[in-house]
Each structure stands twice: as structure tokens, then as C-alpha cells.
Amino acid sequence: MDSKLTKKPSATLTVNNKQLELPVYGGSVGPDVIDIRKLYGDGKLFTFDPGFTSTASCESQITYIDGDEGVLLYRGYPIDQLAEHSTFLEVCYLLANGELPTEAELKKFVQNITYHTMLHAQFDRFFEGFRRDAHPMAVMVGTVGALSAFYHDSTDIDDPKQRVIASHRLIAKMPTLAARAFKYSVGQPFISPRNELDYASNFLRMCFAVPAEDYKVNPVMARAMDVFMILHADHEQNASTSTVRLAGSSGANPFACIASGIACLWGPAHGGANEAALKMLEQIGTVDNIPDFIAKVKDPNSDVRLMGFGHRVYKNYDPRAKAMQKLCHQVLKEVGAEDNPLLKVAIELEKIALHDEYFVKRKLYPNIDFYSGITLRAMGFPTSMFTVLFAVARTVGWIAQWTEMMEDESQKIGRPRQVYTGAPRRDYVPVSRRS
């Protein structure tokens, strides 16, 4: 990646009566950054930013978020336009290559992906090592990491061709792995991919078809799955993407890096929030119980949170949440569940929270997970699969970010510093002399 940073007037930091000149750079849009790389060398100081709230960890040309305005762009294109007009594989091409494909480029890309949808025959035995009641995310962490053991010809990170093949393999095989994790948990036989189907239809078929019956993919559900994946495809330097980059910074192979991203995504503050949001809606049950629940959320002595609300970056309505809400209504209409009681609870909860001083003051708005759980449930997925679906969609973002890092000459192993507040140096005391 060629750097596109522009030099701005530098900043001066005065500390311990010493003045330090710090370079400032600008990107194409968004806040400028202060370059502190020489801070320790010149001033014997570190910066302190737990949770990276004000730290840009890299230069990137893939995704842009304006959290105050509620804007999300993939390679410059607004998420709502892509969700309305594009397809998931076209978005994959865009994220990976920087531009929308021509017709011929898209055809070739789709061919490359479909070529890699199958798994090594021996791979299926791998699933059998898991307990039937294993969480599908546990299965995903294990099996995606295990891809490194099956595809040695795409683990040389210094070979650009192998990097491309690894990224095609990951995008292609994730739906097959995810569908197998699902089938294994419900005790049904695995269904092989069908390459004449589009990406989303193929995935739904691998999840819901059984060998004993014909299965016809519902086009409304296939489009809903495709849009769900577009909405989740990338989100710049979030926790799981930063995990993938950090793992990759040591030179680990791409399959291992994506497995580390999946592990990070699992947590309820990140990808696990859609599962947690649906459980919360079920727990609330009916609209009458909302005031009591809101009171618990606002109680400073309770740690109850309104799941599917709030975001580290968005201090406005998450633009993905708007598209997800629309998708939710379409899917519920298709399955004849428009008066689903959980949807009623969600709509009322959103209405109340958007006007309640507690949420308004803290700029807490619905995020993508608020409506995705209800949508996925209506599509036939159990809650334990929700984060897996997020992982399938985010794989392209992870691998595009990993590739960008591999092509960045300024890339170094990620190694944060710390401020140490533990015991200073002291001498060892033998156990017989300790009181």
C-alpha cells in the first residue's frame, strides 16, 4: 500500500520543561493524527490510551466511519447504497481490490470463489472431535485455525499469489464451515456446496437442506442473507480486526490470524451482542415489562446494559442499524410474523430509549445488533449461530485488512507499551523466612 498521508503543521508538546516537535498528518477525510513514534526516543515518554479510544493504529484505505454523523463508507461508497444495489461478492471484490469490478472482473472473481467452496475430505472428521453441544463459535475458532494444517500452499505470507489464494479460500470456505458447525450441532448430515447457486443461496441451502427432501431457496431470504453480509463485511479497526492485524503483525499465517479474529468477535461486547440482544428481548417478553428493564439499565448499582445499543464510534444512529431494521420487517413479512411480540418489544424499547435522558445524554443509539437477532431468528437460525453468521460476513474485512497490512512497508510487529504500577525491584525471600 502506498501511503497517502499528507503532512500538516506539526504539534508542540511541552513536558518536563522540554519542547518536543511532533509531526501531524492528515488522511483524505476524518481527524488528523499526531505522530508519536519518536516520543519515547526523544522524550522518554509513552502515551496512555487503554482501549485505544484516541489512537490510530495504522493507515488504512478500506473503510471510513464518521461516528458523529452516522456515516459508513466501504472504499468511499456509502453502506446504504451498497446494501440497496450491490451483492455480497461484489462488495468482497470492492473491499479486497479497492474498486468496484467490471462485469468480466466480477465473473472471474465469482468463479475463483466458487472454485474453493469445498473442504478437504479429511476435514469432516475434524468436526467429529467436538461434543455435539459445543457452541458453534468454538467449532469455528478451531476449524478455521485448522485450515492452516490443510492448505500449506497458501500460508507463505511473503508470496502475494499465496496471499490472494488464502483470501479466496477463506471467503469461499467460511459458509461451508459455518453450515457444517450448524449441521453438526443439530445432528444432521452435512450438505455439500452447490456452485451454480449464488453465495447466500448456497449458504442457506447448506444450512437448511436435508438429503431426504428437495430444498428450494427462498429468494427473499437469500437477498436478506446477502444484505446481512454486506452490512457486516467490514468496520475498520474494531476489536476483532485489530486482533487479526496484531496476530498478523508477527508473521502468523492468514488462517491462524482469522481464527484469532473469530475468538475476539465471540464476546458479547462485540459480535456476541446480537445473541445477547435477542436474549434480552426474550427476557423482557412484553411491552409492559419495558419500564422496569429501563430502570435496571439506568440504575448505577446494576451492570445491566441495553444490548444492541451504544457504540464506541457511533454517537449517532448506526447507519447499518437502519438497513437492518428494514431487512427485519421484510423477513418477518415473508414468514408472516409481522406481529412478532419480540419485534413489538424492540420497536417500543427503541422509541423509549431514543427519548430517555439517560440514553440521549450518553449518545446511545441502536446499533446493527438491535434488529439482527430478530431477523436471523425469523430466517430459522438458532441464537448460537448469530455470531457465526457475523464471522462469515466479516471474513472479507479481516482478510482485506490483513492483506493491506502485509503490503504496508511501515508495518511492524504490534507491541503496545504499559505504565507499570506493580512492585518495584525486590529480593527473593525463602519460604522459611516469610511470615
Does residue 273 interact with ligand CMC by CB under 6 A? yes
Burial of 175 (0-12, 13-18, 19+ CB in 10 A): buried
Cell of 407: 503490503
Binder to ligand CMC among 204, 244, 264, 307 (CB under 6 A)? 307
Separation CA 368–CA 317 (nearest Å): 9
Confirm or reject binding of residue 297 to ligand CMC (CB under 6 A).
yes
> Can you give the length of the chain in residues?
435
Supply the minimum distance, in Å, between the C-beta of residue 220 and ligand CMC: 25
Q: Which of 226, 320, 227 is nearest to 273 (CA)?
A: 320
* Interface region with ligand CMC, contact rule CB under 6 A, candidates 23-31, 110-118, 308-316, 425-433: 308-316
Q: Which listed residue (116, 168, 235, 311) is catalytic?
A: 311
Question: Binding to ligand CMC (CB under 6 A): which residues in 225-244?
Answer: 235, 238
CB of 6 to ligand CMC, least distance (A): 29
CA separation for the pair 270, 308 (Å, rounded):
10
Phi and psi angles of residue 13, each rounded to the nearest 5 degrees, phi first? -115, 125
> Which grid coordinates belong to 7?
503532512
Q: Is 311 a catalytic residue?
A: yes
With respect to ligand CMC, which residue has the nearer C-beta, 248 or 310? 310
Q: Counting contacts by CB under 6 A, is residue 261 touching ligand CMC? A: no
What DSSP string describes 327-340?
A: HHHHHHHHTT-TT-
Contact between 346 and ligand CMC by CB under 6 A: the answer reads: no
Question: Between residues 249 and 367, which has the closer beta carbon with respect to ligand CMC?
Answer: 367
Residue from 198, 226, 234, 369 carrying the catalytic annotation: 369
Cβ pair 226, 200 in contact under 8 A: yes
Is 154 in contact with 165 (CB distance < 8 Å)?
yes
**Backbone φ, ψ for residue 274 (5° rounding):** -70, -40
Smaller CB separation from ligand CMC, 245 or 270: 270
Give the binding-site size for ligand CMC (rule: CB under 6 A): 20
Residue 124 appears among annotated catalytic residues: no
Q: Kindly state the smallest distance separating residue 381's Cβ from ligand CMC, in Å.
A: 17
Give the residue, chosen from 193, 254, 310, 397, that forms a contact with ligand CMC under the rule CB under 6 A. 310
Nearer to ligand CMC, 127 or 381 (CB): 381
C-alpha distances (whole Å) from 280 to each of 130, 138, 208, 304 are: 29, 22, 26, 10
> Active-site positions?
311, 369
| Binding footprint of ligand CMC on the chain (CB under 6 A) | 235, 238, 269-271, 273, 297, 305-312, 362, 364, 367-369
